[in-house]
Amino acid sequence: MFAAQKLIIAGVDPGINVGIAILDLHGNILNLSSRREASKSDLIKHIVKFGWPIVIASDVNPMPRSIKKLASTFGSRIFYPKTSLSNIEKIKIIDDYKNEIKDAHQKDALAAALKAHKKYRELFSKINVALKKKEMFDEIVKNIFKGKNIAEAMEEVEGGE
């Protein structure tokens, strides 16, 4: 990962028509799109325009193999629900953004990304509260996702200054 790249969460709905939702770590939508017959390299190029995915999310369980492979390419964590999200659950999750969604693939990708963000929101919030310098946020999140606890991650980042 390039140090200057912003960390993101990417929700992906694979298939002939691929839905992609990209969020920053605060849950803001950076991109919501769908592509017909997108290759893995097309997806990679599209995603990295917005940052480096710390999490790649799906709305179904089991997680599709194509998403696992995509996450592996980035070294990202994967997120998928315990049970596949029902259409009713997705509608509740994406309700605040329904005017931005153009098709079912975008809806599924956005629901996955928002659900993943919800899982990690408390962790991101704790990091923000503990930080002295907000620009360290992405580096600390990256270290935590590599297996360090918050104190170790902060010590490493602050010690590197």
pLDDT in tens, the chain (161 residues): 444 479 999 999 999 999 999 999 999 999 999 999 999 999 999 999 999 999 999 999 999 999 999 999 999 999 999 999 999 999 999 999 989 999 999 999 999 999 999 999 998 888 877 776 666 778 888 888 888 887 888 788 777 65
CATH of domain 7-119: 3.30.420.140
Q: Is the dihedral of CA 83, 89, 95, 98 positive or negative?
A: positive
- Left, alpha or beta for 137 (phi > 0: left; psi -120 to 50: alpha)? alpha
| Helix (H/G/I), strand (E/B), else coil: 24 | strand
Which residues, in sequence order, are bridge partners of residue 10?
22, 56
